[in-house]
Every structure is written in structure tokens, then in C-alpha cells.
């Protein structure tokens, strides 16, 4: 797959942005920007010049260093400098650049002076009057920033995946019951398992499109009808969620499903590949001239551009296209691959069910093992366990395991990581457990350096097994605390301990990008429900969706192991 000038120029621009945010040498920054400008101004692709044997260092703004970078990108489809910068800086930092008037220089000041790297942190700091005191800002700029954030929020209201699912499921069932309907499929960010969705895209194949539309707009939960045609309609549900429905012909079903699944960045990248093959791709199919050569299935759409089918969760233009061309797409984890759950609470702390009820429920869904991990005493609001109560619970677990059950209970604790990095339970007690989950439940506002050091020290405890909900975020309720996840992940590799992907739909923590980094670093991730009731085991499916977005395979996940293999891995952390 050829790399064009725009592809390389985009890389150089991003490198320049990140270098400027880091406060790097301005001459180096300018060199990347000049190089990008030169590439965009060339009349032909730079790879054509190289194939002709021309010396590209003779081009204006392209010295030996940038020439080497161009060769690297052409040869490997990657730039090591950009990959390094992306790992050094917070993943969300570039989101600030999407706000109007927020260039790299301002992001640099916000990041280095106020440790701001998310729009949520910026809004809080602006409301607190902290931004105006930075050089080059002032009260008016602070006010404009608040206006820009609000405008951005107003145009991008999103719903948590679990909330959207509660409305999507019944709607799909309703549509499937309409006479003459053959297929109903959810597309968009919901199908890609995004943590939040802006709207629902629904595709239907049916004999009578008009009949489907009339039933759709008459759905009980519809608050208002924005548009209605013979094959498409848009409504707003009472919750405020927009739903777009399209009735498509069978021969275009795969094309429409692909097109409306997205993401936009992925679709644009594939469209460019199609153009190089002399094809045009849209929601109706893949066309060579006026002749449709694919469209009925997604598999045929991908085959038309020389690729295998790419799972929806990967379609973010984050390397999946290159992996598909190279035959390196991951064999993504499935919910059925999980053998157990390593994070669950009972009524001994803040859970709602007894130990036995939790065990029976986990066994009923086919799990082989369940770790009982009630809170430690520091979390008083959760009625956390002290040493005496924990030791008593261990005896109860032994009694349970001595009986005949389809599931084995593991002894564990969700122990608070205190501000100094120590654990909220004596080591002699922790040493008697199978699973020690460390968690931050306080002092979320520590500086990035102090929060990171706090967690690193906790991980160094010889009894430490697993870091719970590693960034502490609650989606749309509490932003992540500032922590260097790259250091955390690499320390977990060195320390031979593990990271949790908390499957609770309010958390979904690890982030998908952190899952991908953990995979690259060889750190196993445990997909846990954090169940506080028997119904919460259903949340494991959301964790699997997040894991799939993070490229995780069965082998990358700790609790896909059978019990005997798991015990070996747990013992290796000690």
C-alpha cells in the first residue's frame, strides 16, 4: 500500500505539535512544519522521486534527518519518533488541540504550568480562575475557552454504552417483530463498542421499507420525529438519544453496515485505498465505474480493497489497516474465553449479596473461579474489612470450597493504596491471600509525579497482584487522576504483576489505548466485573468490548486461564 505525501506531512505535523507541547527546540519544530509544507506542495509523490533515484535532500526543507524519516515511513508505515512522543505524553492531550483557538503553544502552557491534559481539567481550571494568570492568556481568553468547551459539549452530547444499550435492545426487538423484516443491525459507535455513543444507527432489510418507517416513528419511546422518508427516518427518544434508521436493499446491506459503522477516520483511510485500486466506496457498495463489484456483505467490501474483514472494534485508523494488509490482525478475545472473575464484593463490605449467592451466580454463567475481594478497612463508607473480619471470611471460603460446587472461590481483598504507597492491610495477612488487588480510592488530586510514585510503590509490595481501575475515572462523572500510565504498565512488566480492566460500564478502565500498550509490553490484563450484585456479572461483556477495542487476544488476558494455570501466574507475582 503506497504512502502519499499527505500521509507523511500529517505525521510531521503531529510530531511538530507534540514537540511544541513538550517545549522542544523551536528550530526542530519548525523543521518538521517546513517539511510538511514542502511535501504538500510537491507536484508528485515523494516515493516516485525516490524510486527514480533522486536525492530528496535537495528539496526545500528536507535535510538528512527528515529524509531518513521519510524513508522510514515509506518502508515501515511508522515513525519511531511519533510513536515515542505518543507514549511520552498523555493520550488525551491532543484532544485540547481540537478546541477552537487552542494551539500547541497554549496547550504547552496548560500542560506544564497547570498539569492539564483533558478538556474536563481545562474547564475546571478555567472556572476556578486559574487559566487567566498564565502568560499569554488573561480573563478574556479564559472566558473564550469556557465558551469553546461548552460549544464543543453542546454539539457532542454522548450517552454511556450501557445506557444506549438499554434503549437499543428493545428497539431492535420491536423492529425485528415487524412483518417482512429480514435483518436488523446496530451500526455506528455502538457497534464499535465505544465507551459512549452520540446516537444510534440502525440498518434494516425488509420487503416493505415504508411499513418499517411507519412502525419505527410510532415506537412508544419516540419523543419527536426529525425526518421521515420512504427508506429512512430520524427520531429523538425521550431520553434525548437520536436514532437514525435506514432501510437498505439486500445487495447494499454489507456496504451500508460498513459505511455507517465507521469510524470516519477508518472509512476515509479505506476510501483512499479504494481510489488507488480504481474503486469508489460508499453506502451502496464498491464500484468500478458504474458496476457494483461488492456490497452484500462486509467481507466482500473488504475483499474488494484487498483486505480481510476487520472487526468493528478495531476500526479507528490506529494501525488496523496496516495489520490487515500484513496479515497481523489480532484474534480478538470473546466473552466465552473468560474462565473466571478476579474482582467481586459481598455483603461483608458494600456488596448486596452473600458470599454463597455470588458464588452460585458466577457458577451459573459458567465461570470456573471467582475471587472474593471485599474492601479493606480504610474505605469506611464501604464497611471495609479489618484483619479479623478478613481472616474470618477466609475460613468461610475454605468451608465453601470443601463442599461440592461447580466453582472455586479464591481468597482476596481490594486493599486501599494509601497516599504514601503503603497498603491498608498488614503484610502477614495479605500473604495468606490468592489475590491482592490494590486500588486508589482517595487523594485523586495528587500531582502526576506523586500519584505515579504512590502506585509504583504499592506495586512493589511483594503481596501485590493486580492494580484495580488504574486511572480511577468514572465516565462523565469523575475524570481520571493524573498518572503516568506508560510508567505504570512498564513497571507491571518488570514487577511481574497485572492490570485490571474494570468492566463496570461506569468505569471501563483500562482505556483501550492503555490495553494496547499493555499488550505491546507483555503485561497481562484481567477483565473483572467489580460485581456488587449477581446482576453485575453481566458487565463482563462490556469489559470484553473494551478489551477488543484495545486489540487484546485471549492470551493477553489473565483470567482466560484455567484455574491451575491461573494459580501458577498468581503465585509468580509474589
In order along its 574 residues, the chain shows pLDDT tens digits of 457 777 888 899 889 988 988 888 888 998 998 888 788 766 667 888 888 888 888 887 788 999 999 999 999 888 999 989 888 887 667 778 777 677 788 888 888 888 887 888 888 888 888 888 888 888 888 888 888 777 665 545 788 898 888 889 999 999 999 999 999 999 999 999 999 999 999 999 999 999 999 999 999 889 899 999 999 999 999 888 999 999 999 999 999 999 999 999 999 999 999 999 999 999 999 999 999 999 999 999 999 999 999 999 999 999 999 999 999 999 999 999 999 999 999 999 988 889 999 999 999 999 999 999 999 998 777 789 999 999 999 999 999 999 999 999 999 999 999 999 999 999 999 999 999 999 999 999 899 999 999 999 999 999 999 999 999 998 877 889 999 999 999 999 999 999 999 999 889 999 999 999 999 999 999 999 999 888 889 999 999 999 999 999 999 999 999 999 999 999 999 8
| CATH homologous superfamily of 5-154 | DNA polymerase beta, N-terminal domain-like (1.10.150.110)
> Reduced to 3 states, what is the DSSP secondary structure of residue 190?
helix
Ranges assigned E (strand) in 146-275: 159-160, 181-186, 196-197, 199-206, 222-228, 232-237, 242-247
Q: What is the pLDDT of residue 535?
A: 82
Q: What does the block give as the cell for 480? A: 481520571
Spatial contact of 528 and 410, defined as CB atoms under 8 Å apart: no
- Domain limits, CATH 3.20.20.140, in the chain: 335-572
* CATH 3.20.20.140 at 335-572, yes or no: yes
Number of other residues whose CB lies within 10 A of the CB of residue 128: 10
pTM for the whole structure: 0.75
> What's the rounded Cα separation, in Å, for the pair 304 and 456?
49
Q: Exposure string (b/e) for 551-567, b if CB count within 10 Å is 16 or more?
A: bbebebbbbbbeeeebe
Query: Distance of alpha carbon 50 from its chain centroid, rounded?
Result: 38
| CATH homologous superfamily of 159-247 | Beta Polymerase, domain 2 (3.30.460.10)
- Domain limits, CATH 1.10.150.110, in the chain: 5-154
Number of other residues whose CB lies within 10 A of the CB of residue 416: 23
Spatial contact of 101 and 107, defined as CB atoms under 8 Å apart: no
CATH topology for 253-325 is Beta Polymerase; domain 3 (3.30.210)
- Domain limits, CATH 3.30.460.10, in the chain: 159-247
Amino acid at each position: 500500500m503506497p504512502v502519499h505525501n499527505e500521509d507523511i506531512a500529517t505525521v510531521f505535523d503531529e510530531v511538530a505539535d507534540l514537540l511544541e507541547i513538550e517545549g522542544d527546540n523551536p528550530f526542530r519544530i519548525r523543521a518538521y512544519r517546513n517539511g510538511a509544507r514542502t511535501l504538500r506542495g510537491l507536484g508528485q509523490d515523494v516515493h516516485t522521486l525516490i524510486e527514480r533515484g533522486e536525492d530528496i535532500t535537495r528539496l526545500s526543507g528536507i535535510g538528512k534527518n527528515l529524509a531518513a524519516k521519510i524513508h522510514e515511513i515509506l518502508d515501515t508505515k511508522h515513525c519511531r519518533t511519533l510513536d515515542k512522543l505518543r507514549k511520552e505524553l498523555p493520550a488525551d492531550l491532543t484532544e485540547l488541540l481540537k478546541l477552537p483557538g487552542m494551539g500547541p503553544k497554549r496547550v504547552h502552557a496548560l500542560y506544564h504550568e497547570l498539569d492539564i491534559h483533558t478538556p474536563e481539567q481545562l474547564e475546571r481550571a478555567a472556572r476556578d480562575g486559574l487559566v487567566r494568570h498564565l502568560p499569554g492568556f488573561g480573563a478574556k481568553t479564559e472566558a473564550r475557552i469556557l465558551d469553546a468547551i461548552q460549544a464543543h459539549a453542546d454539539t457532542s452530547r454522548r450517552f454511556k454504552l450501557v445506557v444506549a444499550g438499554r434503549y437499543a435492545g428493545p428497539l431492535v426487538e420491536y423492529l425485528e417483530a415487524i412483518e417482512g423484516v429480514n435483518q436488523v443491525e446496530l451500526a455506528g459507535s455502538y457497534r464499535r463498542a465505544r465507551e459512549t455513543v452520540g446516537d444510534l444507527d440502525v440498518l434494516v432489510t425488509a420487503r416493505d421499507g415504508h411499513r418499517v418507517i411507519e412502525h419505527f416513528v410510532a415506537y412508544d419511546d419516540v419523543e419527536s420525529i426529525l425526518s421521515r422518508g420512504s427508506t429512512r427516518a430520524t427520531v429523538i427518544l425521550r431520553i434525548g438519544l437520536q436514532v437514525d434508521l435506514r432501510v437498505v436493499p439486500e445487495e447494499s446491506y454489507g456496504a451500508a453496515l460498513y459505511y455507517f459503522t465507521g469510524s470516519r477516520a477508518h472509512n476515509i483511510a479505506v476510501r483512499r485505498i479504494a481510489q488507488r485500486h480504481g474503486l469508489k466506496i460508499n453506502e451502496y457498495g464498491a464500484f468500478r465505474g458504474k458496476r457494483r463489484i461488492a456490497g452484500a456483505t462486509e467481507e466482500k467490501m473488504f475483499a474488494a480493497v484487498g483486505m480481510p474483514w476487520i472487526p468493528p472494534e478495531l476500526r479507528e485508523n490506529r494501525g488496523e489497516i496496516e495489520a490487515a494488509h500484513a496479515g497481523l490482525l489480532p484474534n480478538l478475545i470473546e466473552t466465552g474465553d473468560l474462565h473466571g472473575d478476579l474482582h467481586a464484593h459481598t455483603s461483608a463490605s458494600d456488596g448486596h449479596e452473600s458470599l454463597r449467592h455470588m458464588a452460585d451466580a458466577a457458577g451459573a454463567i459458567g465461570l470456573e473461579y471467582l475471587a472474593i475481594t471485599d474492601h479493606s478497612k480504610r474505605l469506611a463508607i464501604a464497611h471495609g474489612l479489618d484483619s479479623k473480619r478478613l481472616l474470618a471470611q477466609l475460613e468461610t471460603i475454605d468451608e465453601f470450597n470443601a463442599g461440592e460446587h461447580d466453582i472455586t472461590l479464591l481468597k482476596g481483598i481490594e486493599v486501599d493504596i494509601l497516599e504514601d504507597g503503603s497498603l491498608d492491610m498488614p503484610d502477614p495477612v495479605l500473604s495468606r491471600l490468592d489475590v491482592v488487588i490494590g486500588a486508589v480510592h482517595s487523594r485523586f488530586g495528587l500531582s502526576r509525579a506523586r500519584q505515579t510514585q504512590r502506585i509504583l510503590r504499592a506495586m512493589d509490595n511483594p503481596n501485590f497482584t493486580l492494580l484495580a481501575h488504574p486511572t480511577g475515572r468514572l465516565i462523565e462523572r469523575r475524570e481520571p487522576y493524573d498518572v503516568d500510565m506508560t510508567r505504570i504498565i512498564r513497571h507491571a512488566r518488570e514487577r511481574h504483576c497485572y492490570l485490571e480492566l474494570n468492566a463496570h460500564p461506569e468505569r471501563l478502565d483500562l482505556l483501550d489505548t492503555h490495553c494496547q500498550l499493555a499488550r505491546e509490553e507483555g503485561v497481562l490484563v484481567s477483565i473483572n466485573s467489580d460485581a456488587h450484585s449477581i446482576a453485575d456479572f453481566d458487565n463482563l461483556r462490556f469489559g470484553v468490548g473494551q478489551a477488543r477495542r484495545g486489540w487484546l487476544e485471549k492470551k493477553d488476558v489473565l483470567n482466560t486461564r484455567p484455574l491451575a494455570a491461573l494459580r501458577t501466574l498468581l503465585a509468580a507475582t509474589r
